Amino acid sequence: MSAVHPRGGTSSAPETIALIGPGAIGTTVAAALQEAGTPVQLYGRTARDQLVLHRGDHDIVVPGPVITDVSQVADPADLVFLAVKTPQLEAASPWLAALVGPETVVCVLQNGVEQEAALAPLLPEGRVVPAVVWFPAETQPDGSVLLRGDARLTLPHSPAASAAAQALSTTWCEVELSTDFASVAWRKLLQNAVAGLMVLTGRRAGMFRRDDIAGLALDYLHECLAVARAEGAALDDDVPAQLLARFQSFPADLGTSILADREAGRPLEWDARNGVVQRLGRAHGIPTPISDVVVPLLAAASDGTGSVSGPAAVTPG
Ligand SMILES: NC(=O)c1ccc[n+]([C@@H]2O[C@H](COP(=O)([O-])OP(=O)(O)OC[C@H]3O[C@@H](n4cnc5c(N)ncnc54)[C@H](OP(=O)(O)O)[C@@H]3O)[C@@H](O)[C@H]2O)c1
């Protein structure tokens, strides 16, 4: 997979930058821009006076406010970073309607491989830039965000992506432009898909050291690989084994954002991370027996109906 590093590119930096969804990932990107002296307009669901990112041994404050009323958007932005979770996209679409003009580039900071397809009905063609987000960031109880590790994104090598890359080129958020973005995105998707098994056990990465879970994970990764290849990803035969080995090498107590969402009773990104393999597998005529079990269970776990936190009125059987 070849990659191009964007520093020193010739395209001009966007003048107005907006962020929709100032959560863990959005706060990280906003803080990187802020520290490089680039102002960002913040649009979200929860009103805040400012954002705070803990990075290494210091804190970065991004001045707010976080605007929550779409009628307060005056003009479209040149560049929009969209960092809501995938189930939140529909509710966030009024922000896109207000902030996107004919020349606006929207860089989507989300997991999955369907960002362009999801935004196609809402945006002009060629203006959506999907991103693979490589860094873990966690929202703390006080609303601040803890960045773990180095911030890094992969974007496709496209004219629209150069606007996002240019904006970030003077920041500590590293951007790589890939000439084979589909393969990079699908590799990350395989990682996300198998992490979904943690939701079904309520266990963290240590579970992948069990022989039975390792076997299941490997079979699931091979199922995902077949779909990825049918979608054009160039991934080698040993990618499933590499990914499994990686999970087995993680600290036993390392979680994943979809498990954190499950533990907090929030909607899960099951469709973008797992459902996509089943849907696209069916479209290509590829059997997906593991997805056929995993996906309905994740969907049900995401659904409030029958929640264990509600009153247990009747115990059947
Ligand atoms: N966190 C990570 O380590 C990580 C790593 C790689 C990829 N990703 C992916 O990056 C994406 C973003 O994840 P995240 O962890 O940053 O999620 P997050 O912390 O939950 O952030 C989402 C943000 O969007 C806001 N939001 C929700 N609905 C909205 C609406 N209708 N309009 C405007 N803003 C709205 C939320 O507001 P509230 O404050 O009101 O909830 C929150 O600030 C996901 O696809 C995730 O899978 C995350």
92 lines ligand 1 (CB under 6 A): yes
CB atoms within 10 A of CB 287: 11
Q: Quick one: 276 and 149 in the same domain? A: no
Whether 315 maps to a domain, the answer reads: no
* Domain end call among 179, 206, 237: 179
In the reported structure, the alpha carbon of residue 206 is separated from the centroid of ligand 1 by a whole-number distance in angstroms of 26
In the reported structure, the alpha carbon of residue 174 is separated from the centroid of ligand 1 by a whole-number distance in angstroms of 20
Q: Quick one: 25 and 152 in the same domain? A: yes
**pLDDT tens track, the chain, 317 positions:** 445 555 434 456 899 999 999 999 999 999 999 999 999 999 999 999 999 999 999 999 999 999 999 999 999 999 999 999 999 999 999 999 999 999 999 999 999 999 999 999 888 888 999 999 999 999 999 999 999 999 999 999 999 999 999 999 999 999 999 999 999 999 999 999 999 999 999 999 999 999 999 999 999 999 999 999 999 999 999 999 999 999 999 999 999 999 999 999 999 999 999 999 999 999 999 999 999 999 999 999 999 766 655 555 555 55
Write down the residue that tokens 């589909």 correspond to: 182
* Domain end call among 152, 179, 206: 179
* Domain end call among 128, 156, 179: 179
Query: Measuring from atom 21 of ligand 1, which residue has the nearest CA?
Result: 23
- Two tokens at 267? 């909607």
Whether 314 maps to a domain, the answer reads: no
Q: Quick one: 49 and 80 in the same domain? A: yes
Looking at the 3D structure of the chain, how many domains does it have? 2
Catalytic residue among 54, 55, 127, 188: 188
| Radius of gyration of the chain from its Cα atoms, rounded to whole angstroms | 20
Task: Please give the C-alpha separations between residue 276 and each of 114, 217, 220, 272, 299, in angstroms, as whole numbers.
Answer: 8, 17, 13, 6, 12
Q: Quick one: 59 and 104 in the same domain? A: yes
- Dist. CA 171–CA 150, nearest whole Å: 12
In the reported structure, the alpha carbon of residue 22 is separated from the centroid of ligand 1 by a whole-number distance in angstroms of 7
Sequence letter at residue 192: N
Q: What is the pLDDT of residue 133?
A: 98
291 lines ligand 1 (CB under 6 A): no
Strand arrangement, sheet containing 152-156? 3-4, 174-178, 152-156, 128-133, 100-109, 77-82, 17-20, 41-43, 66-67
25 lines ligand 1 (CB under 6 A): yes
Nearest CA to 224 among 270, 266, 174, 278? 278
268 is in which domain, residue-wise? 183-302
252 lines ligand 1 (CB under 6 A): no
CATH code at position 221: 1.10.1040.10
Whether 312 maps to a domain, the answer reads: no
Sequence letter at residue 90: E
Query: Measuring from atom 37 of ligand 1, which residue has the nearest CA?
Result: 45
Whether 90 maps to a domain, the answer reads: yes
Whether 310 maps to a domain, the answer reads: no
Write down the residue that tokens 């907006």 correspond to: 18
Is 188 among the catalytic positions? Answer: yes
CATH code at position 150: 3.40.50.720
CB atoms within 10 A of CB 170: 15
Q: Quick one: 63 and 169 in the same domain? A: yes
